[in-house]
Structure 1
Amino acid sequence: MGKMNIGIIFGGKSAEHEVSLQSAKNIIDAIDKEKFTVTLIGIDKQGNWHLNDHSSYLLHADNPKLIQLNKSNETVAIVPGSNEHQFIQANSTAILEQLDVVFPIVHGTLGEDGSLQGMLRLANLPYVGPNVLGSSLCMDKDIAKRLLQSSGIKVADWLVYTSAEKDDIDFQKVQEKLGLPLFIKPANQGSSVGVSKVMTEDEFSQAVQLAFEYDRKIIIEEAIQGREIECSVLGNDHPIASLPGEILPKTSFYSYESKYIDEKGAELAAPADLTDKEMEKVQEVSIQAFKVLQCEGLGRVDFFLTDPGDLYVNEINTLPGFTKISMYPRLWEVSGLSYSSLITRLIELAIERHEKESKLKSTI
């Protein structure tokens, strides 16, 4: 069998555009060139899709603060419903070489919320990561918490408000129910975007305002005092969990900056310093949460581990960062699976799922 053509879609309109560029660069550098050829499709901040050249797809590639997508003159359009040659060049209608699998490494809104996954499904293309339902469930922190809680998995207590209820949000009432400090978050954003830690009434109203700038629904959450533990999960029907890791933040909480830009913003213990029993519990709950939230392919499960030994799931990230300092690939490396082999495995899982779905009946 010849080489497979992998389409890597990256960038996007979300607040996490730059992280996605870093993730894509690392994947492109590490992918097994003997097995795969790579087609690069970069989505700019306006939402246009560009066919990019390997030699020039990024500007300031080595500077996380200045990294940019280098827009090409060739924009791409998708043809839904056809079984092959789903991508065409928009300006010339020339047909792009057939993609065998797509690796969508677009973080945040429109990338990991099911939107892009739905489009790839319409185009009948195998893609890496959870399907439409798993992606959108995990993206909505409120819905994810309800499902986890109803499955007996501990989550931090929370309140939810939509923009229509904005005027009913009362600091005193919230404080009585959830205590202080509080975390205020847009319900549908990844990576600490629009998230605030709040101690006072003034901070509270500013934080509510900020969260509503990113979403029409926000959650207000109690702060759990605990260690930040993360675990990587890989697989479809029979997922496996990596050794857990721990984030040792040097700032008051693990902000966007400390996650992606400032390499010294957080130290990463991989694997985490846990007892065998704690390790097993983290792995077990990771797989359980992954299944409850209908995940496939990959997911990074983020926890708080409290002193009494209680484990709270904070969230599942369905397209976690793939930069060289990212937790997801690092935890697999310490568990014995190299970065390059991990990419190959994710592509295999995408094909495996697509083949199973293709066998399902579509007529009665």
Structure 2
Amino acid sequence: MDTHDAPQPSSRRTTVALVFGGRSEEHAISCATAASVLRAIDRDRYDVVPIGITRDGRWVQVADDPAPLEITEGRLPEVPESTSTVVLPLGTGSNMVTVTEPGQVPRALTEVDVVFPLLHGPFGEDGTIQGLLELANIRYVGCGVLASAAMMDKHVMKVLFANAGLPVGPYTVITDLQWRRDRAAAMDAVHALSFPVFVKPARAGSSVGISRVEDPAQLEAAIEEARRHDPKVVVEAGITGRELECGVLGGHGTDAPRVSEIGEIVVGGEHVFYDFEAKYLDEANVALSCPADVPDAVREEIQRIAGVAFEAAGCEGISRVDCFLTESGDVLINEINTMPGFTPFSMYPQVWAATGISYPELIDELISLALERRTGLR
């Protein structure tokens, strides 16, 4: 029997490696998420090993102290540099994590039962770390390789949603080749949409690089800004209405995924949409309302769409599904986040709190789901 298929011994705590930071532009948000989990995780049940990934991609051991990882006024956190490097096993015989230092014999750090990858954006949320953990034969929280990669790409995501019969708003895609080969045709495709439009990097999160364009004269500059973050760009027609969100938890065994109460984001102040600053730096002008004040039929439709999208994408464990409620009363699916914001004040934990699952309980449930799911094909 593979060691990963054996039941966890009841005489010891489960060892959880929190992996955070990373090479994406959401590095600081990932650190803040890790700080929240470090404060809330049940230390009577879990031994916690914080592992940071520096901005240049090195894996390092980080002190088990949330304070340096929190966002404070005037400072965004980041994983500190280190001369040592954390190394995962690349085989099926052991789940021992080691530490190497220049001129030193590698030393064993600990055996890891499960990894909680608290990474947002490329090089973490996009199937890359999931593939690495599959190679290491270590269980992990959240979606697998394919679902993580597909849901990170807003173009592929919309194709899968449409194929599943889910309602998707009007959009167009500008690849790097299309932009370099025939910029005029790419611009024409955007002009066929109704303005305002939202110009987005196809594979980024936390609203990084997104522009709301009302004046067509500003379109080319917005596309170039999105291309600074990703050579592939998605342009969506603006939807007038409300932004509503639903959390999904993967079911145990053959159980259907569970869906949460519905939350709503209301943005005020100078923000014209839910941008990076509104999400993380200007809480005074952002209200997260949960449960959202919507008719029962709307709530049930969003929950239905969330469950269908989760399964159509092959998601596992955790996801947040974002929808629009139009002025005419139609529900459109916007996107899935396979590693949504995960501080206690983020929408995903809040919708589950409103459903009856507290933040520490949510952490425990996600780890439980990861431990019962094998690695490899499933």
Same-fold status (TM-score > 0.5): yes
Of residues 235, 245, 260, the one that matches 2:263 is 245
User: Does residue 160 of structure 1 match 2:178?
Assistant: no
85-94 or 101-110, which moves further after superposition?
85-94
Which AA in structure 1 matches 2:183?
Answer: I
User: Does residue 147 of structure 1 match 2:157?
Assistant: no
Structure-2 change in CA distance of 1:30 and 1:246 (3 Å): same
Q: What is the CA-CA distance between 1:201 and the residue it aligns to?
A: 3.0
CA distance in 2 between counterparts of 1:88 and 1:20 reads 23
CA contact (8 A) 2:95 2:138 kept: no
CA distance in 2 between counterparts of 1:211 and 1:303 reads 22
Question: Residue 236 of structure 2 aligns with which residue?
Answer: 221
CA distance in 2 between counterparts of 1:57 and 1:136 reads 31
189-198 or 233-242, which moves further after superposition?
233-242
Question: Residue 187 of structure 1 aligns with which residue?
Answer: 202
Q: What is the CA-CA distance between 1:264 and the residue it aligns to?
A: 1.8
Which AA in structure 1 matches 2:309?
Answer: A
CA distance in 2 between counterparts of 1:77 and 1:307 reads 52
CA contact (8 A) 2:21 2:78 kept: no
Of residues 17, 20, 26, the one that matches 1:7 is 17
CA distance in 2 between counterparts of 1:64 and 1:4 reads 37
Pairwise CA RMSD: 1.8
* 1:118-148: CA deviation from partner (whole Å, max 9, x where unpaired): 0001000000000001101100100110110
Which AA in structure 1 matches 2:170?
Answer: D
1:284-303 superposed matches below 5 A: 284-303=304-323
CA contact (8 A) 1:86 1:123 kept: no
CA distance in 2 between counterparts of 1:40 and 1:59 reads 11
CA distance in 2 between counterparts of 1:359 and 1:16 reads 30
* 1:156-204: CA deviation from partner (whole Å, max 9, x where unpaired): 1111111111142337623542121111111111111111111223310
User: Does residue 210 of structure 1 match 2:233?
Assistant: no
User: Does residue 50 of structure 1 match 2:60?
Assistant: yes
Question: Residue 126 of structure 1 aligns with which residue?
Answer: 139
CA distance in 1 between counterparts of 2:351 and 2:216 reads 39
Instruction: Give the SS at the match of 2:244.
Output: strand
* 1:6-38: CA deviation from partner (whole Å, max 9, x where unpaired): 000000000100110111000110001110010
Instruction: Give the SS at the match of 1:142.
Output: helix
CA contact (8 A) 2:35 2:69 kept: no
CA contact (8 A) 1:186 1:212 kept: yes
CA distance in 1 between counterparts of 2:73 and 2:344 reads 13
- What 5-or-longer segments of structure 2 have no aligned partner? 1-9
Question: Residue 264 of structure 1 aligns with which residue?
Answer: 284
CA distance in 2 between counterparts of 1:341 and 1:182 reads 39
Q: What is the CA-CA distance between 1:83 and the residue it aligns to?
A: 2.9
Of residues 132, 137, 146, the one that matches 2:150 is 137
Q: How many matched pairs?
A: 358
60-69 or 70-79, which moves further after superposition?
60-69
Question: Residue 328 of structure 1 aligns with which residue?
Answer: 348
Of residues 3, 16, 24, the one that matches 2:26 is 16
Q: What is the CA-CA distance between 1:328 and the residue it aligns to?
A: 0.5
CA distance in 2 between counterparts of 1:133 and 1:308 reads 35
CA distance in 2 between counterparts of 1:139 and 1:359 reads 21
CA distance in 2 between counterparts of 1:280 and 1:56 reads 38
Which AA in structure 2 matches 1:123?
Answer: A
Question: Residue 75 of structure 1 aligns with which residue?
Answer: 85
Which AA in structure 1 matches 2:296?
Answer: D
CA distance in 2 between counterparts of 1:33 and 1:78 reads 23
CA distance in 1 between counterparts of 2:377 and 2:166 reads 34
User: Does residue 345 of structure 1 match 2:355?
Assistant: no
Q: What is the CA-CA distance between 1:82 and the residue it aligns to?
A: 3.7
Question: Residue 26 of structure 1 aligns with which residue?
Answer: 36
Instruction: Give the SS at the match of 1:97.
Output: strand
Instruction: Give the SS at the match of 2:30.
Output: helix
Q: TM-score, normalised by structure 1?
A: 0.94
CA distance in 1 between counterparts of 2:110 and 2:77 reads 28
* 1:235-281: CA deviation from partner (whole Å, max 9, x where unpaired): 14521000010000112000011112221231110110011111111
Which AA in structure 2 matches 1:222?
Answer: A
CA distance in 1 between counterparts of 2:15 and 2:67 reads 18
Structure-2 change in CA distance of 1:51 and 1:169 (3 Å): same
Q: What is the CA-CA distance between 1:61 and the residue it aligns to?
A: 5.4
Instruction: Give the SS at the match of 1:96.
Output: strand
- What 5-or-longer segments of structure 1 have no aligned partner? none
Which AA in structure 2 matches 1:178?
Answer: L
CA distance in 1 between counterparts of 2:343 and 2:218 reads 32
Instruction: Give the SS at the match of 2:123.
Output: coil
Question: Residue 169 of structure 1 aligns with which residue?
Answer: 183
CA distance in 1 between counterparts of 2:265 and 2:331 reads 15
CA distance in 1 between counterparts of 2:113 and 2:78 reads 27
Instruction: Give the SS at the match of 1:130.
Output: coil
